[in-house]
Structure 1
Amino acid sequence: MKKIKVGMISFAHAGHPDSYLSFLINHPNVEIIGLAHHDKERLQKHLDAYALPYYANYEELLQTDCDAVIICSEYVNHAKIVMEAAEAKKHILCEKPLGLSIPEMRAMIKTCKENNVQLMTAFPSRFSKPIQEVKKMIDRGGLGEVLAIKGTNRGVNPGSWFIDPLKSGGGALMDHTVHVMDLMFWLTNSEVKDVYTEASTKFNDIDVEDAGIVHVTFNNGTIGVIDTSWSLHESFPRSFDLTLQITGTKGSIFVDVLGQSNELYSKETKKATWEFWGDNIDQYLVNAFVHAIVHNEQVPITGEDGFNSTAVALATYESLRMKEPVDYNSFIQSKL
């Protein structure tokens, strides 16, 4: 079986790059060509454990013969790195959100197409077994017409560059809207008609919003509501959640993406925790990306998918500014 050479650019995003690397290392169709990050100390444990090449500048990594790169930088750097990687003829898996503006995301997608490379957006929740079963149920009409979807993606305040709007593009709205919106787009198979948002800073002394309620209306009539916030306290059994309550004309169903867990009471943690025991969706994400590149197939979650969900997140800020609903397509056109 063909092997592809993969490089990793930036470990700025908390947790995910380490998780992706752990699965890439053991993948039979992958050779890790190197890790790039400005802070070598951040990577030292990986460099020691796996004897991997280190690059202080990602531009040097792009000059190698790697076939693909995984980008987990600060959000503000996504567009620049993606386009440089595309021009270097590397396939790309990019963390969410895809970019921080409509024009730069369109440019990212255009550059990848012009250079004949694939651009995949990192939405691992699509690979959740419960979510996939619900998708099958909806597609075969098991819930009838989907009338409404209520989603939550709540977390703790991540701190660091995530609360610096110059690097993150915003607060909880930018950070957490996109995961649920991607699932809503996927489950409804419909475009968004309008977006309305209420948000403020309620739980932390920071310069960005940490609480928000997003309302979306889809062209097919489905209503979506998302609690997108950093409202969880440190005592909560895990650092974030992702749930969907889906109501249809034939019934309703509640889905907890992280619901496969055991309750653990430990003297070390000093609190109860929910220890996940289910399949690792990060592994499925990485496997899907590698499979598509190895077999020259379309990646399952495209740059367009990343654009759609991020455009909704951007529209939430426009709604806040205007204090009224925003027409989704008109908003996009106004930014081009």
Structure 2
Amino acid sequence: MKIGIMSFAHMHAYSYADGLKKMPNVELVGIFDDDSERGKKAAEKYHTKHFIDQKSFLAMDMDAVIICSENFRHKEMVLNAAKAKKHILCEKPIATTVEDAQEMINVCDENKVILQTAFPVRFSSPMRQLKKMIDDGELGDIVAFRTTNRGQNPGGWFIDKQQSGGGAVLDHTVHMVDIMRWYLGKEITEVHAIVDSYFHDIAIDDAGLLTLKFENGVVASHDASWSRFKEYPIWGDATIEVVGTKQTVKADAFKEHFRIFTSRSKSLSYVFFGNDMDFDLIRDFVKCVEEKREPSISGWDGLKALEVALAAYESSEKKAAVNL
């Protein structure tokens, strides 16, 4: 299979390229990046061709592309790739507006190409094991979620609202909203949030606290922030605590373990895992293209996660809950 990467603006492009190079049935045939210096360096690193012209890149004989541009360029690149009949894995957030996300989905459908959203946290071993426990009924009925996604301030275009579409709340809400929707199979209907800049002197939000309500009455809280400083021993976290009628389970995608609290015992249990989420995401995308099946994480999943993050900004501005 022949795959190209569109832009190395997002740091995830490097881990995705690493993943492609590990797969014996995949060839990284080219990199488009109109930042000439960045594109040339990436092409040299991965021993492939660099294209500064998007049209020439998309005219290549290849099956799919991975888009890792600045957020505001996702729409442009997805539409162009879809019209060139290339299957697409798009970095999150899928877009900067819900309307753009819907147009991207529509154009991909019209051109009969896959649009998968890059939510690698779904491929974390603890998160997948917790999903199985929920599906098997081990937690009973889900009552509530408590989630966090806290990391370091990435700087650069991430703190330029025109290019990113939003700060920490957009960057660090979509992952865990996707996980909660995946676990519950229900949609969020109400968002209440406080969003501001607390940790850095920047003109964009670096933290937010969200309270969410699902259509079946389940409630959730989410802490999204760029609150981890350079001195912090690890990059950050992506955690979820699921409160069920039988037991409560907490998982952290980056610590590669989950903790179990149960009413049957006063003890605290730890189960450890280890895997490369980004590689598993890439492998899944390749399988989707090979098998001509629907993506595991669709454009619609990307849109619904984006919708919640944008509603958080609206709620904070209005100082009131927003209904979806």
Partner of 2:10: 13
Give SS of 2:310's match.
Answer: helix
Amino acid at match of 1:161: W
**Which AA in structure 2 matches 1:164?**
D
Cα distance in 2, alignment partners of residues 294 and 220 from structure 1: 37
Question: 1:211 is matched with which residue?
Answer: 207
CA RMSD of aligned residues (A): 1.5
Post-superposition offset of 1:43: 3.9
Instruction: After TM superposition, list the pairs within 5 Å mapping 1:316-327 onto structure 2.
Output: 316-327=312-323
Q: Which of 273, 279, 301 is residue 275 of structure 2 equivalent to?
A: 279
Per-residue displacement from partner, 1:258-295 (whole Å, max 9, x unpaired)?
1139xxxxxxxxxxxxxx99210100000000011011
SS at match of 1:234: coil
Shift of 1:47: 2.7
SS in 2 for 1:298: coil
**1:158 Cα shift?**
0.9
User: Cα distance, 1:59 vs. partner?
Assistant: 2.4
Match of 1:333 in 2: none
* 1:245 alignment counterpart: 241
Alignment of 1:310-321 (within 5 A): 310-321=306-317
TM superposition shift of 1:46: 3.9
Contact (CA 8 Å) 1:29, 1:290: kept in 2 or not? no
1:58-69 equivalences under 5 Å are 58-69=54-65
Three-state SS of the structure 2 residue aligned to 1:48 is helix
Whether the 8 Å contact between 2:30 and 2:43 is mirrored in structure 1 is no
Helix, strand or coil for the counterpart of 1:195? strand
The correspondence for 2:109, drawn from 90, 108, 113, is 113
Partner residue in 1 for 2:145: 149
Q: Supply the AA of the counterpart residue of 1:95.
A: E
CA distance in structure 1 between the partners assigned to 2:305 and 2:323 by the alignment: 15
- Which position in structure 2 is the counterpart of 1:331? none
Letter in structure 2 aligned against 1:5? K
Inter-CA distance 62–319: structure 2 relative to 1 (3 Å threshold): same
Structure 2 counterpart SS, 1:238: coil
Question: Are positions 1:33 and 2:29 aligned together?
Answer: yes
1:32 Cα deviation after fit: 1.5
The question of whether the paired residues in 1 share the 8 Å contact of 2:125 and 2:273 is answered with no
2-structure distance, mates of 1:122, 1:184: 16
Q: Which has the higher strand share?
A: 2
Deviation at 1:45, TM superposition (A): 4.4
Structure 2 length as normaliser, TM-score? 0.93
Task: State how far apart, in whole Å, the 1-side matches of 2:54 and 2:15 are.
Answer: 20
Which sections of structure 1, spanning at least 5 residues, go unmatched? 262-275, 329-336
One-letter amino acid matched to 1:21: A
CA shift digits 1:66-99 (9 cap, x unpaired) = 1100000000000111011101101000000001
Q: 1:7 touches 1:68 (CA, 8 Å); kept in 2?
A: yes
Counterpart in the other structure of 1:231: 227
May I ask how many residue pairs the two structures share in their alignment?
A: 310
The alpha-carbon deviation at position 153 of structure 1 amounts to: 0.3
Deviation for aligned residue 1:251: 0.9
1:35 to 1:177, Cα distance in 2 relative to 1, 3 A:
same
AA aligned opposite 1:121: T
Tell me, which stretches of 5 or more residues in structure 2 are unaligned?
A: 258-271
Question: For the residues of structure 2 that align with 1:37 and 1:301, how far apart are their CA atoms?
Answer: 25
CA contact under 8 A between 1:199 and 1:211: conserved in structure 2? yes
The answer for the alignment partner of 2:76 in structure 1 is 80
Using the TM superposition, give the Cα deviation of residue 166 of structure 1 relative to its aligned residue in structure 2, in angstroms: 0.4
Partner of 2:172: 176
Question: Normalization by structure 1: what TM-score?
Answer: 0.89
Deviation at 1:48, TM superposition (A): 2.8
**Alignment match, 1:164:** 160
1:191 to 187, 193, 199: 187
- Please name the residue that 2:265 is paired with: none
CA distance in 1 between partners of 2:47 and 2:154 (Å): 30
Percent sequence identity is 43
Q: 2:216 maps to what in 1?
A: 220
How far residue 49 of structure 1 moved from its aligned partner, in angstroms, is 4.1
